[in-house]
Amino acid sequence: MSEEETKIKALDKMLQELSTEHGAVEDVVHNWLCTQNDCDLFTGILKDGRTISGSISYCSSQARKMADSGDVAMVPDETVWKWVREYFVSDEIKIEPVVAKVEVGTSEKASQKAKKVATKKPKKQPEEEEQLDLFDFL
């Protein structure tokens, strides 16, 4: 298969993936991939199981490894594009699972504020005056 045929098939595969519901990040990665002239990259895109959304998961996994505090990582664009290429070109890719702890609860202060808002009575205004008071909505 020629380089041009490889690129065309890779572009078709990506368009099929993007024909389903997806986010803006997938569009950004797709647009970047479309501007490349790297036969190895397009050959990698054609590998079974390799997807744009998979490349995003891989980049997220790599960024988590870089995070000092475990919460946030700032990664230069060049590094992210290197990871995208690495995801498609490498034979073996390891994507670390997301480990997250979510706690949901209400504090006593938040509960009291919610009760105050729920029990607040609207002020009566004369019919000729149509101005709203923003504090009525708190």
Q: What is the pLDDT of residues 71-83, one digit of tens each?
A: 677 889 999 999 9
Q: What is the pLDDT of residue 100?
A: 44
Structure-model confidence comparison of residues 134 and 9, the more confident one: 9
DSSP state of 124: P
Domain membership of residue 100 (yes or no) is no
Q: Are 13 and 53 contained in the same domain?
A: yes
Which residue in the block uniquely carries the two structure tokens 């990698």? Answer: 44
Q: Does the predicted model carry a pTM greater than 0.85?
A: no
Structural domain including 128 reads: 108-137
Q: What is the pLDDT of residue 64?
A: 86
Q: What is the mean pLDDT of residues 94-120?
A: 56
Cβ-Cβ contacts under 8 Å for 73 (sequence gap 6 or more) = 63, 64, 66, 67
Q: Are 59 and 119 contained in the same domain?
A: no
Domain membership of residue 101 (yes or no) is no
Structure-model confidence comparison of residues 84 and 118, the more confident one: 84
Q: What is the pLDDT of residue 102?
A: 41
| Separation between Cα atoms, residue 54 and residue 61, nearest integer Å | 10
Structure-model confidence comparison of residues 120 and 53, the more confident one: 53
Q: Are 62 and 129 contained in the same domain?
A: no
Q: Are 24 and 52 contained in the same domain?
A: yes
* Closest C-alpha to 70, from 103, 96, 105, 104: 96
Q: What is the mean pLDDT of residues 32-46?
A: 95
User: Does residue 10 have a pLDDT over 70?
Assistant: yes
